Amino acid sequence: MALIRQSAARDLRVDFFRGLALWWIYTDHIPGDVLSNYSLRNFAMCDATEVFVLLAGYGAGLAYGMGLGRNGYVSTVADVLRRAWTLYIAHIFLFVLFTAQVTYSATALNRLNYLEETRLDVLGDDPYRSMLEALLLRFQPSLLNILPLYVVLLAFFAATIWMLRWPRLLFGFSLAIYLLVRVTGINLDSWDNGGWFFDPLAWQFLFVIGATAGYSRVNGSWPFPTWWWIKPLAIGITALVAVINITWTIHWFYDPFPPFLAKQLYNHTIDKTNLAPLRLIDFLAIAVTTIAFVKPTSAFLHKSWAWPVILCGQHSLYIFCVGIVLSVLGHFLLAEFYSGIPMQFAVNLVGMGMMIAIAFLLEWYKTASRRPPGSRPGRRPRHAAMHAASSESPQ
């Protein structure tokens, strides 16, 4: 019971939707995967990246907002930068593992096109420079651009966290940077002079929206308007965009079917680098709609089938790295052996099963490491275990 009371304020929706986003990232990174046709990007003008960034900001605002009150500014900034360093190390480790996986497969299978697909072909042309640029985050192979974004977003948050006590000031400052990016197109420099795939100067706005929302759990003041018509408008936008995207998906499979407003909207939604306004508006509408229909007390969050998703979301960094490696392996298996529906379901089943198994292993280890010396394991009620797992920092 003490565990439940300790985490009573914990919002299990954060872990659930982060875990769901990790599964979407896995399926979306496997070309031609049948399950990718049912991820968020097929029903909206955004995808799992927006979910990941918003919830990362929410977790940062909640966790480090409490740190500001307890430990002060300097200590909290140090905690943020330490987390950014952890993510940087994880990215470098993932880069090494990803590079070894792809280069070995390309060599063993005599498929040099795999190097081109993942943008690792430069390793053969300039290996020493590419390694240096990877350490500087200026060389980001395909699929390895989310963690560098997260590292820079945390560095930005560390520099602006003093404004968190004035959420509207932070929101206005962030909005001004986003608008400047939209007007000028400025971006961080990359090795190929093409800029980062995810421009942190644009994506920081979504992160800050999440951070100010998370901090509202600390100071008890919601920083955004609460006019009565906002929720109906958000629900309407979400439904309209879902219908539009479904027509695009149907057109993709059946060419004679007319896609609704494709010519007018498509070019304005594919700008993922600078977070196109239509992507942002649609995602915020989805977020508001989700809040309207899914409450912290929603029964499904305590069902047995939701527990694996919540655990994956709770251990998001590890599961993200595992998902990237498994998605590349799944891509090679489908491309080299058999890409039929049975094989696709097998790849998805095994991949997600491994992600869930690793999440359970990490949770078991965390629980065991916190057990007092000499105590017996004992069995906790499922709901107590769930709340205990969700009490970990969402970072």
Q: Which two tokens stand for residue 166?
A: 């004035």
Q: pLDDT value at position 9?
A: 55
What would the mean pLDDT of 87-116 be, rounded to a whole number?
93
On the 0-12 / 13-18 / 19+ scale of CB atoms within 10 A, 207 is buried
Among 60, 72, 46, 119, which Cα is nearest to 278's? 46
pLDDT at 383: 45
Mean pLDDT (the chain) is: 89
Nearest Cα to Cα of residue 313 among 13, 83, 36? 13
Residue 6 pLDDT: 35
Look at residue 8 in the predicted model and tell me its pLDDT.
41
| CA pair distance 27, 351, nearest whole angstrom | 9
pLDDT greater than 70 at residue 241: yes
Place of tokens 């690793």: 358
Percent share of the chain, pLDDT over 90: 71
Residue 390, pLDDT > 60, answer no
Q: For 3-60, write each residue's pLDDT tens digit.
A: 323 344 578 999 999 999 999 999 999 988 888 988 999 899 999 999 999 999 999 9
Q: Is the pLDDT of residue 304 over 60?
A: yes
First and final CA of the chain: distance in angstroms? 25
| More confident: 370 or 236 | 236
Q: Contacts for 231-236 with beta carbons within 8 Å, 24 or more apart?
A: 231/288, 231/289, 231/292, 233/285, 234/284, 234/285, 234/286, 234/287, 234/288, 234/289, 234/292, 235/285, 235/288, 235/289, 235/292
Distance, in Å, from the CA atom of 45 to the CA atom of 216, rounded to the nearest integer, reads 27
Contact 15, 313 (CB under 8 A): yes
Q: Which H/E stretch holds residue 246?
A: helix 230-253
Confidence check: pLDDT of 387 > 50: no
Contact 286/43 with Cβ under 8 angstroms?
A: no
* Nearest alpha carbon to residue 150 among 269, 317, 358: 317
Token digits for 234? 């958000």
Q: For the residues 182-210, what does the mean pLDDT come to? A: 94
CB 324, CB 376: distance < 8 Å: no
pLDDT band at 377 (very low <50, low <70, confident <90, very high): low
Q: Which residues contact 118 (CB under 8 A, 6 or more apart)?
A: 98, 102, 141, 142, 143, 328
pLDDT at 346 over 90: yes
Smallest CA-to-CA distance from 319 within 96, 102, 94, 3 is with 94
Average pLDDT on 226-251 reads 93
- The pLDDT value given to residue 271: 86
The pLDDT-based confidence of 373 (bands split at 50, 70, 90) is low
388 or 40, greater pLDDT: 40
